[in-house]
Structure 1
Amino acid sequence: MTKTIEFKGRCLCGAVAFEGAAPDEPVSSCHCKQCRQWGSGPFDAYSVPLANLKFTSGEDAIKFYESSEFARRGFCSKCGSSLFWHADRHPDWKDRIAIAVGTLEQPTGLTAGPHIFCAAKADYHEIKDSRPQYAGED
């Protein structure tokens, strides 16, 4: 039986709030250049089916930046909090959204998963845990 995680989250100022329930999947830590530039470090994300994400306030405060030919990054237009990564134009990912785990209320019940795009990690960043590491998205 698959465990379900119930989550609630919000941006720093509270203008955007959301909740949902989704299958328990490990948090991935992305070290790609775009994620590093966006949040000054790896982007820790919990990927959920888009249909499982419900906004309780502030959906109109979310702005998206088209960061690549297939994905966009969502942030709060009031406080600037990084909220989501959504590959809305990628056939395998368009129905899922990656939530920035730092926005979620504790305890999350989530577990740490793989490091991805490690070939692009910052030269000052040392990965010292035993989680799987992938050079690309493998």
Structure 2
Amino acid sequence: MQLNGACLCGNVQITIPEIVEEITVCHCQMCQKFFGSSFLSLPGLSAEQFALQGAEFVQRYASSQWAERGFCKNCGSSLFYHALGQDYFFPTGLFEGVTGKIVQEIFYDKKPEFYQLQNDAPKLSEKEFLAHLFEGK
């Protein structure tokens, strides 16, 4: 399925020609601060798997030694999480018509207590997720 999305002002437009709509929810503190809530993310994509128009409006912020986050310089919309040297992860809210299913929740132990998402997806704590991420390295 092709997805077309844009920031609030429309200066940055993103087209994803083909994607499986499997959504990961990240409850980490950085995502909560950057996205204003938990991060509902589409699957990771390499730079060759999407088209971005309006790159001159994209500001990148090095949020850690291993990642950067992008936002629109004009309207402030959160655009992506980029694992350096790896994939880009886009918030579902940028795109119209997303019909995906939540496949996992990560940093679940960091989730605010005032809400509960209704799904049967695996829920990994920070420790469990990091152990899984660095398994075999």
- TM-score w.r.t. length of structure 1: 0.83
In structure 1, give the amino acid aligned to 2:111.
Answer: K
Q: Give the 3-state SS of the residue equivalent to 2:123 in structure 1.
A: coil
Q: Are the counterparts in 2 of residues 61 and 78 from structure 1 also a CA contact under 8 Å?
A: yes
Q: 1:36-57 deviations in whole A, cap 9, x for unaligned?
A: 11122110111222211112x3
Measured in 2, the distance between the counterparts of 1:123 and 1:23 equals: 32
Equivalent of residue 124 in structure 2, options 110, 127, 134 = 134
Equivalent of residue 86 in structure 2, options 95, 116, 135 = 95
Q: CA deviation at 1:103?
A: 0.2
Measured in 1, the distance between the counterparts of 2:122 and 2:110 equals: 15
Aligned residue number for residue 48 of structure 1: 45
Q: 1:39-91 deviations in whole A, cap 9, x for unaligned?
A: 22110111222211112x31110001110110000000100001100011xxx
Correspondence 1:58 to 2:54: yes
Superposition pairs for residues 1-138 of structure 1, below 5 Å? 5-46=1-42, 47-55=44-52, 57-88=53-84, 94-106=85-97, 108-136=98-126, 137=129, 138=132
In structure 2, give the amino acid aligned to 1:53.
Answer: F
Kindly report the root-mean-square deviation, in angstroms, between the aligned alpha carbons of the 2 structures.
Answer: 1.6
Measured in 2, the distance between the counterparts of 1:12 and 1:95 equals: 26
Measured in 1, the distance between the counterparts of 2:2 and 2:49 equals: 10
Measured in 2, the distance between the counterparts of 1:123 and 1:30 equals: 14
Number of equivalenced pairs: 127
Q: CA deviation at 1:113?
A: 1.7
In structure 2, give the amino acid aligned to 1:105.
Answer: E
In structure 2, give the amino acid aligned to 1:42.
Answer: S
In structure 1, give the amino acid aligned to 2:120.
Answer: S
| Runs of 5+ consecutive residues of structure 2 not aligned to the other structure | 133-137
- TM-score w.r.t. length of structure 2: 0.84
Measured in 2, the distance between the counterparts of 1:99 and 1:129 equals: 21
| Runs of 5+ consecutive residues of structure 1 not aligned to the other structure | 89-93
More strand by share: 1
